């Protein structure tokens, strides 16, 4: 018996390596096999990568078993990153690197070259601890034991915020709308929602309506089955950075799509008019105006002073989604105190104006969060004309003075009073700008189909 395992150096005493004949036979056989496969491939015109690779996948039960067993489930929420949950890969699916497309939000796509053709599999439905839910990647022909595969496209969303506040929820689903318009208008068969890796089963009704308008069907929010083992997805797209690195152009395009789709869903067409339509959008309760009648009087006087200005007063609570879309479609200048109802501003025509009001304490204590509607206005192409921060009103009690968070809580939902002279001056300026802007834009038509109509 020759000793195949000996080091090659032992053959150096022979003029030819002693395995040469065996090697030659092996090489020739391999070559023939390759040619055979190539001709098969041509015959059957096998072009799909999965069909091609299946010719090479190990077909012995043992290898299959090994591949299946090698599928490793990791916690969806990686506690090692709890101090920096939003950085880098975030703490959600932390082992997976995002695909970065310039000007777009960072994303994960399965199967894809980045996943080496593997599918995304999820396990668990814990709604209060994301580290108890798991994910894994698996080749389609070596799925983990007991796995089921859901066909079609699945949108998997993780957000650091929530799905109940319409501003936060819109931020979470925003990049999916962009993905849809850039990928042949592909629509998801289902959504799987997470917050810190914890399962969520619903979104705010306003966001539900918005998604229905965009994707035509009501969103199917899927909560994975409990004891059926892992669920793998034929195709899955994951966003975990909200708008992430999205460029201004990309954001504008999404807002244009949302506006267009919402109007179309609600059967609203914008009528061309020469008037400037000012809407006073009133909150009830938290952050309402302290004296609504005074506020209405000030705006009415300024509006009456400008030719063609029409004013409308509308309470924000109790409106249906489509009523909100219609109101915004018919508004050129929106006046409102800070709150979720302002998320509607992107339903106005581009270049419309926004005036925002805050209670006492916000300017000093609310941090950057108070500027969200300025950012939204900027992203959507609206003119945010600044804010009024109420300087008067009850002061934070001495006992809380050293605790800014407590103090902010004290102020947070206060009533908004106004300085009439200041607000009158400001309003008159904004209305004149709006009139000027409208003249410059006249002749432009906002009509035309929606992207992915
Ligand atoms: C992710 O990116 C890091 C840094 O670029 C790299 O070291 C790592 O190997 C990547 N991981 C995967 C799974 O591709
Ligand atoms: C819009 O119009 C269509 C057809 O007239 C109707 O079926 C649909 O219910 C309307 N949608 C809304 C939101 O009113
Ligand atoms: C707003 O209108 C001006 C002209 O008045 C125009 O140059 C600008 O592009 C418009 N902005 C958006 C976001 O459409
Ligand atoms: C309005 O405010 C501007 C500056 O903000 C000031 O120059 C102007 O005098 C004010 N007008 C009135 C009528 O108060």
Kindly report the CA angle at 179 between 218 and 350, in degrees rounded to 5? 85
* Max Cα–Cα distance, the chain, nearest Å: 108
Between residues 58 and 269, which one has the greater pLDDT?
Answer: 269
Structure tokens at 235: 């195709």
State mean pLDDT over 343-349: 97
Q: What is the pLDDT of residue 63?
A: 80
pLDDT at 60: 67
Task: Describe the crossing of helices 166-182 and 248-265 by its angle, rounded to 10 degrees.
Answer: 100
The string of DSSP codes covering 281-346 is EE--STT-BS-HHHHHHHHHHHHHTSTTEEEEEEE-TT--HHHHHHHHHT-SEEEEESSGGGGGGG
Pairing of strands 353-358, 333-337: parallel
Q: With respect to residue 240, please indicate whether it lies within any of the assigned structural domains.
A: yes
Q: Please give the residue that has the higher pLDDT: either 54 or 110.
A: 110
Percent share of the chain, pLDDT over 90: 76
In a shared domain, residues 403 and 302: yes
Ligand 2 contact via 266 beta carbon (within 6 Å): yes
Q: Say if 196 falls within a structural domain.
A: yes
In angstroms, the CA 40 to CA 71 distance is 32
Tens of pLDDT, residues 192-227? 999 999 999 999 999 999 999 999 999 999 998 777
- 419 domain-assigned: yes
Q: Is the CB of 376 under 6 A from ligand 2?
A: no
Which pLDDT score, from 0 to 100, does residue 49 have? 42
pLDDT of residue 20: 55
Shared-domain flag, residues 426 and 320? yes
Question: pLDDT digits over 255-267, tens only?
Answer: 999 999 999 999 9
Q: E strands, 80-147, where?
A: 108-110, 119-123, 134-138
Q: Which residue has the tokens 């055979």?
A: 36
For residues 226-242, give the mean pLDDT. 92
> pTM for the complete prediction?
0.84
Q: What distance in Å separates the CA atoms of residue 120 and residue 255, rounded to the nearest whole number? A: 30
> Could you tell me if 188 and 332 lie in one domain?
no
pLDDT at 46 over 60: no
Task: Mark whether 141 and 216 lie in a shared domain.
Answer: yes
| Domain, as residue range, for 83 | 69-246
Q: Which residue has the tokens 């300025």?
A: 374
Ligand 3 residue neighbourhood (C-beta within 6 Å): 350-351, 381, 437, 440-441
Q: Are residues 379 and 424 both part of a single domain?
A: yes
178 CA distance to ligand 2 middle (Å): 25
Look at strands 231-239 and 108-110 and give their pairing.
antiparallel
Q: Render pLDDT for 77-104 as a digit per residue (tens, 0 to 9).
A: 999 999 999 899 999 999 999 999 999 9
Instruction: For residues 398-408, give the mean pLDDT.
Output: 90
Whether residue 128 lies inside any domain: the answer is yes
Mean pLDDT of 94-122: 96
pLDDT of 62: 79
Q: Ligand 2 atom 1: the closest Cα is on which residue?
A: 267
Cα angle: 111, vertex 452, 172; to 5 degrees: 60
Name the closest ligand to CA 386: 4
162-181 mean pLDDT = 96
Ligand nearest to the CA of 89: 1
Q: What is the pLDDT of residue 335?
A: 98
Domain end (from 197, 212, 246): 246
Q: State residue 447's pLDDT score.
A: 56
How far does residue 11's CA lie from ligand 3's centre (Å)?
80
- Quote the CA–CA distance of 136 and 131 in Å, as a whole number: 14
Identify whether residues 167 and 294 lie together within a single domain.
no
Look at residue 149 and give its three-state secondary structure: strand
Residues 392, 285 share a domain: yes
Q: Which residues pair with 154 in a beta bridge?
A: 190, 236
What atom in ligand 2 is closest to the CA of residue 266? 13
Q: What is the CATH number of the domain that holds 358?
A: 3.40.50.360
Q: Average pLDDT, stretch 45-61?
A: 48
Q: What confidence score (pLDDT) does residue 47 get?
A: 38
The residue ranking higher by pLDDT, 47 or 401, is 401
Q: Is residue 90 part of a domain?
A: yes
From the alpha carbon of 267, which atom of ligand 2 is closest? 1
Q: How far apart are the C-alpha atoms of 288 and 339, rounded to whole Å?
A: 10
Q: Which of 60-74, 279-293, 322-336 has the lowest mean pLDDT?
A: 60-74
**pLDDT for residue 70:** 84
Cβ of 47 less than 6 Å from ligand 2: no
Is pLDDT at 11 greater than 60 in this prediction? no
Q: Which of 217, 246, 275 is the last residue in one of the domains?
A: 246
Is the four-CA dihedral 158, 162, 166, 171 of positive or negative sign? negative
Q: Whose CA is nearest to atom 2 of ligand 2?
A: 267
Structure tokens at 329: 């479609």
398 contact partners, CB below 8 Å, separation of at least 6: none
Query: Who contacts 206 (Cβ-Cβ below 8 Å, separation ≥6)?
Result: 166, 321, 324, 343
Asked if the structure places residue 356 within a domain, the reply is yes
Pair 238, 341 in one domain: no
The residue among 423, 341, 420, 436 whose CA lies nearest residue 386 is: 423
Q: Considering every ligand atom, which ligand is closest to the CA of 209?
A: 2
Place of tokens 């539900």: 208
pLDDT band at 28 (very low <50, low <70, confident <90, very high): low
Q: Give the SS3 label for residue 131.
A: helix
What is the overall mean pLDDT for the chain? 88
Q: d(Cα 204, Cα 66) in Å, to the nearest integer?
A: 44
Beta bridge partners of 334: 279, 354
Res 44 pLDDT > 80: no
Q: What distance in angstroms lies between residue 351's CA and the mean position of ligand 3's atoms? A: 6
Strand order, beta sheet including 276-282: 309-315, 276-282, 333-337, 353-358, 383-389
Q: Does residue 19 fall inside a structural domain?
A: no
Q: What is the mean predicted confidence (pLDDT) over 129-155? A: 96
CA dist 117 and 106 (Å) reads 19
User: Is 57 or 287 the better-scoring residue by pLDDT?
Assistant: 287
Residue 352 Cα, ligand 3 centroid: separation in angstroms?
Answer: 10
Same domain, 214 and 268: no
Q: How far is the CA of 217 from the centre of ligand 2 (A)?
A: 14
Is 25 part of a structural domain of the chain? no
CA of 269, nearest ligand number: 2
What is the rounded distance in angstroms from the CA atom of residue 287 to the CA atom of residue 305? Answer: 28
Q: Ligand 2 in contact with 268 (CB < 6 A)?
A: no
Percent pLDDT > 70 in the chain is: 85
- Dist. CA 255 → ligand 3 center (Å): 15
Closest ligand to C-alpha of residue 74 is: 1
pLDDT (average), residues 280-304:
96
Q: Residue 219's CB: how many other CB atoms inside 10 A?
A: 23
Contact 309, 329 (CB under 8 A): no
Examine the domain organization and report whether 388 and 262 are in the same domain.
yes
Number of domains in the chain: 2
**167 phi and psi angles, rounded to 5 deg:** -65, -45
Task: Using the predicted structure, report yes or no on whether residue 37 has a pLDDT greater than 70.
Answer: no
As a 3-state breakdown, the chain gives helix, strand, coil percent values, each rounded to 5, of 40, 20, 40
Is the predicted pLDDT of residue 45 greater than 80, yes or no? no
Q: pLDDT band at residue 438, thresholds of 50, 70 and 90?
A: confident
pLDDT at 14: 46
CB 267 less than 6 A from any atom of ligand 2: yes
User: Where among 212, 246, 280 does a domain terminate?
Assistant: 246
Whether residue 224 sits in one domain with residue 298:
no
Asked if 410 and 293 sit in the same domain, the reply is: yes
Protein residue closest via CA to atom 11 of ligand 2: 266
Token pair for residue 345? 């501003």
Mutate to test the pocket of ligand 2, among 267, 322, 323 (most ligand atoms within 8 A of CB): 267
Helix axes 321-329, 248-265, angle to 10 degrees: 110
Q: Who contacts 422 (Cβ-Cβ below 8 Å, separation ≥6)?
A: 388
Phi-psi sector, 253: left (phi>0), alpha (psi -120 to 50), beta? alpha
pLDDT band at 321 (very low <50, low <70, confident <90, very high): very high
Top mutation candidate among 254, 350, 351, 445 for ligand 3, by most atoms within 8 Å of CB? 351
- pLDDT at position 401, please? 83
Residue with tokens 């934070």: 396
155 Cβ contact partners less than 8 Å away, ≥ 6 residues apart: 176, 188, 190, 191, 192, 236, 237, 239
Atom of ligand 3 nearest to the CA of 351: 1
pLDDT of 368-397, one tens digit each?
A: 999 999 999 999 999 999 999 999 988 999
The model's confidence at residue 439, banded by pLDDT at 50, 70 and 90, is confident
How far apart, in whole angstroms, are the C-alpha atoms of residue 117 and residue 100? 18
């Amino acid at each position: 018996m020759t000793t195949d395992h000996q080091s090659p150096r032992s053959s150096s005493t022979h003029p030819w390596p002693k395995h040469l004949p065996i090697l030659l036979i092996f090489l020739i056989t391999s070559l023939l096999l390759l040619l055979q496969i190539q001709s098969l491939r041509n015959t059957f015109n096998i072009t799909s990568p999965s069909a091609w690779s299946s010719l090479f996948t190990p077909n012995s039960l043992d290898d299959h078993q090994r591949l299946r067993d090698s599928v490793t489930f990791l916690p969806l929420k990686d506690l090692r990153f709890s101090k920096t949950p939003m950085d880098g890969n975030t703490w959600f699916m932390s082992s997976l690197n995002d695909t970065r497309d310039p000007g777009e939000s960072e994303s994960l796509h399965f199967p894809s070259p980045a996943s080496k053709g593997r599918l995304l599999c999820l396990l668990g439905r814990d709604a209060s601890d994301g580290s108890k839910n798991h994910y894994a990647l698996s080749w389609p022909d070596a799925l983990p034991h007991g796995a089921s595969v859901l066909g079609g496209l699945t949108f998997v969303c993780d957000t650091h915020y929530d799905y109940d506040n319409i501003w936060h929820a819109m931020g979470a689903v925003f990049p999916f709308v962009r993905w849809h318009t850039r990928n042949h208008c592909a629509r998801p068969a289902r959504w799987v929602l997470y917050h810190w890796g914890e399962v969520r089963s619903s979104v705010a009704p306003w966001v539900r309506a918005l998604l229905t308008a965009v994707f035509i069907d009501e969103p199917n929010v899927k909560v994975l089955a409990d004891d059926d083992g892992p669920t793998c997805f034929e195709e899955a797209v994951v966003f975990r950075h909200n708008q992430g690195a999205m460029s201004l152009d990309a954001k504008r395009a999404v807002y244009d799509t949302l506006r267009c789709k919402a109007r179309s869903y609600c059967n609203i067409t914008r009528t061309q008019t020469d008037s400037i339509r000012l809407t006073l959008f009133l909150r009830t309760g938290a952050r309402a105006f302290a004296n609504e009648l005074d506020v209405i009087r000030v705006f009415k006087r300024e509006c009456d002073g400008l030719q063609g200005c029409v004013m409308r007063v509308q309470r924000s609570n109790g409106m249906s989604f489509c009523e909100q879309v219609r109101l915004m479609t018919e508004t050129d200048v929106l006046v409102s105190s800070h709150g979720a109802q302002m998320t509607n501003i992107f339903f106005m025509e581009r270049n419309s104006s926004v005036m925002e009001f805050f209670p006492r304490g916000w300017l000093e204590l609310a941090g950057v969060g108070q500027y969200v509607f300025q950012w939204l206005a900027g992203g959507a192409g609206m003119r945010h004309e600044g804010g009024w921060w109420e300087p008067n009103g009850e002061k934070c009690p001495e006992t809380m003075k050293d605790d800014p968070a407590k103090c902010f809580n004290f102020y947070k939902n206060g009533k908004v009073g106004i300085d009439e002279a200041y607000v009158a001056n400001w309003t008159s300026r904004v209305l004149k700008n709006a009139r000027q802007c409208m003249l410059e834009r006249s002749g432009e038509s906002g009509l035309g189909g929606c992207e992915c109509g």
